[in-house]
Amino acid sequence: MENKLFRREELSTIGIVLIGAISSVISYRTGNFFIFFLFPLALTAFLREIKAAWAAGIFAIALNIIVSLWFYMYRSADLFLLQWNALYYTAMVVIFSWINTPMSVSLGNIQFFGDVSGRMVIGAVFCTLIFIPALLFMIHDPVLRLFVLEQLETFSSTGASIPDQEEFISGMVYYGLRGGILFSSLVFWWINRQFALIISRFFRQDIANLEGRRFLIFQVPPAFIWIFSLSLGIVLLGRISLFEILEITGWNILVISAILFFVQGSAVLLHLMLKIPPLPRILICLGMVFMLFRPGANIAILGLLVILGIAENWVPFRKPK
């Protein structure tokens, strides 16, 4: 009886791994669902063990390479674009699988880089290092530039064309180098991970509760306030000296620091809101959601959350009384 149950569980895991991998590749290859191509892999990680999560990721990478080869052999697709396509998918899947698998790294008393948020930051740095050459190459390669514009046209919900392509590409490269890759990678991973967490609540409430507790106690190492301050100086120095590499480095460090303090500020806000009655809490949440869709007000809210996260270095908002 136990062998039958074990075999049934094993077959169920294999099925989830296959469905997760195939769904990921289909989403990646279908423009309208591109933003969710990591969601099936995150859901697999939450529903099953570490080995299943990595198995789904490896199988998805292999399947995507096979699909790329098919496009090259039978659809005469551009080999260079297929190579970048496979590289992007492989890098995102490997890093995302690593983010979703438990790990504990100790740096003295700092456990931060063993946390999910720490792994996301490390992964975003690797993505930046991997894809900066693609952005620089895009400026000079008409094939890659045209491909990017076609993809943006496909993903556009309105279907409207981009009026000034050259200006758009230049802006994309400029902001991409200055923290854009970091920011977009982190947001992309967060959206897929949160969506998977919402669905996993129906199957594994323990995982969702654990993630909620982790968020509530999230805290950036105190030394990051000096890194944040130093990055501002690096950006200013880079602009004054016209040393672009220095400026780009400063912006990327600044974006990392600001995002981490934003997460900490959000955790502080949630901690404080849990202390007030449900009705005022709901009204405050609705008000904040409404303000996030108002230009100017949304930037102010995000900035205030960053400041709130920084302020906790001196004001112990979450210290038990």
- Give the pLDDT of residue 65: 93
When comparing pLDDT for 298 and 273, which is higher?
Answer: 273
pLDDT digits (tens, 9 = 90+) for 219-274: 888 888 899 999 999 999 988 888 888 998 999 999 988 988 988 888 888 888 88
Q: What whole-number percentage of the chain has pLDDT above 70?
A: 79
pLDDT digits (tens, 9 = 90+) for 179-200: 888 888 888 888 898 888 888 8
Contact 246, 100 (CB under 8 A): no
Q: What are φ and ψ of residue 110, in 5° steps? A: -95, 120
Query: Which of 36-45, 117-126, 288-297 has the lowest average pLDDT?
Result: 288-297
Domain spans of the chain? 2-103+110-216, 232-321
- The DSSP letter of residue 122 is H
Q: Is a pLDDT exceeding 60 seen at residue 163?
A: no
Alpha-carbon radius of gyration of the chain: 22
> Under CATH, which number does the domain 2-103+110-216 receive?
1.10.1760
**3-class SS at 220?**
coil
Q: pLDDT band at residue 107, thresholds of 50, 70 and 90? A: very low
Task: Output the six-digit token pair for 199.
Answer: 């669905």
Task: Output the six-digit token pair for 24.
Answer: 């990921």
Q: pLDDT band at residue 23, thresholds of 50, 70 and 90? A: very high
pLDDT digits (tens, 9 = 90+) for 37-82: 999 999 888 887 778 889 999 999 999 999 988 888 887 777 777 8
